[in-house]
């Protein structure tokens, strides 16, 4: 990810949940907060209640790749948190990709 870093700290996730804008789809929820930074930061969460570790990590890898392939389309200086919902664990790649881009477009994150 050329222009992005990872969100890792709990307080950063909480700040996005509290202050950021959100868009909800059947498979994922996208939180976004525009910051005065040069790069984007991305965090992905999948609850342990949804699936075992192997399936949770597979969904994380898919979403990270979806973001990486479309990274150039995103405005700079945005913090993103992607929360996977119950149906998102078993959703095909194309469905996740389409939904992620629609939610990002709805939040005016794409150039």
Residue 102 lies in domain = 4-106
| Total domains in the fold of the chain | 1
Kindly state whether residue 42 falls inside one of the protein's structural domains: yes
Question: Rounded to two decimals, what is the model's pTM?
Answer: 0.93
Please tell me the predicted confidence (pLDDT) of residue 96. 97
Task: Report how far Cα 6 is from the mean position of its chain's Cα atoms.
Answer: 11
As given in the structure block, the two tokens for residue 8 are: 């890792």
Residue 111 confidence (pLDDT) above 90: no
Confidence of residue 1 (pLDDT cuts 50, 70, 90): low
Kindly state whether residue 41 falls inside one of the protein's structural domains: yes
Please tell me the predicted confidence (pLDDT) of residue 57. 96
Kindly state whether residue 48 falls inside one of the protein's structural domains: yes
Kindly state whether residue 111 falls inside one of the protein's structural domains: no
Query: pLDDT tens for residues 68-100?
Result: 999 999 999 999 999 999 999 999 999 999 999
Task: Tell me what percent of the chain is helix, strand and coil, each rounded to the nearest 5.
Answer: 45, 25, 30
Kindly state whether residue 39 falls inside one of the protein's structural domains: yes
Kindly state whether residue 90 falls inside one of the protein's structural domains: yes
Query: pLDDT tens for residues 25-73?
Result: 999 999 999 988 889 999 999 999 999 999 999 999 999 999 999 999 9
The Cα–Cα gap between 65 and 15 comes to 25
Task: Return the minimum-mean-pLDDT range out of 3-7, 94-98, 107-111.
Answer: 3-7
Please tell me the predicted confidence (pLDDT) of residue 94. 97
Give bridge partners of residue 21 from the DSSP assignment.
32
CATH number at residue 75: 3.30.230.10
Kindly state whether residue 67 falls inside one of the protein's structural domains: yes
Place of tokens 């939904």: 99
Report the Cα–Cα distance between both ends of the chain, in Å, rounded: 17
């Amino acid at each position: 990810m050329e222009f992005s870093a990872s969100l890792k700290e709990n307080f950063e996730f909480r700040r996005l949940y509290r202050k950021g804008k959100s868009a909800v789809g059947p498979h994922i929820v996208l939180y976004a907060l525009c910051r005065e930074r040069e790069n984007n930061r991305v965090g992905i969460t999948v609850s342990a209640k949804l699936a075992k570790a192997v399936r949770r990590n597979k969904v994380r890898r898919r979403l990270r790749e979806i973001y990486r392939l479309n990274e150039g389309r995103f405005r700079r200086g945005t913090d993103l948190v992607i929360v996977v919902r119950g149906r998102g664990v078993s959703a095909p790649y194309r469905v996740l990709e389409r939904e992620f881009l629609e939610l990002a477009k709805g939040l005016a994150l794409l150039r």
